[in-house]
Amino acid sequence: MALVLEQLAIPDVKVLHVKRYGDERGFFSETYNKKEFAEAGLDLEFVQDNHSFSRPIGTIRGLHAQKAPFAQGKLVRVTRGRIFDVAVDIRPASPTFGKWVGAEISADAWNQIFVPIGFLHGFCTLDPDTEVNYKVTNLYSAKHELGVCFNDPQLKIGWPVAYDKATLSDKDRALPLFSALFAGSELRNG
């Protein structure tokens, strides 16, 4: 499989690079191998695959997470287009609580991002007709979901689209601020 991990500024969030073998027919790639992931320190059990399609550039999905006992880790890859993917640390005891990291994930780069349990997750499409596939470590539960407004001024996420130009669902546009969910927790965004 030839898995290479790249740590981001928050080391628990990782960008993964897997080998793609090409010839005149196209390519072949092993995008997930439980044994190799475990050997790389990502010993995970995925229970559900999700697939999203977003037509316009500037579509934002997020920021989302699920609470215990349905918290989810996510392995995200793009099969068409590009995204700016964001993870926000919501682990209260973490030294990076309230901080975010982002990475460009694309079909051309054939990279993936692993967002562990304890993070809000979201992405913004950078190309039209973008398709995102992701594996999760727990099943979806509507009563355990939580979310934060993507442009929360306290988080200061450097999204590649202005709020008034972003395409969001009504549900995502109505998400609360970080401080409403994590009252009494100090944000550490330098």
Tell me the residue ranges of DSSP E strands in 3-157: 4-7, 14-17, 21-23, 26-28, 48-54, 60-66, 74-80, 82-89, 100-106, 111-115, 119-125, 130-136, 145-147
What is the distance between the alpha carbons of residues 177 and 148, in angstroms, rounded to a whole number? 5
CA neighbor of 136 nearest in space, from 65, 88, 79: 65
Q: Which residues are catalytic?
A: 64, 134
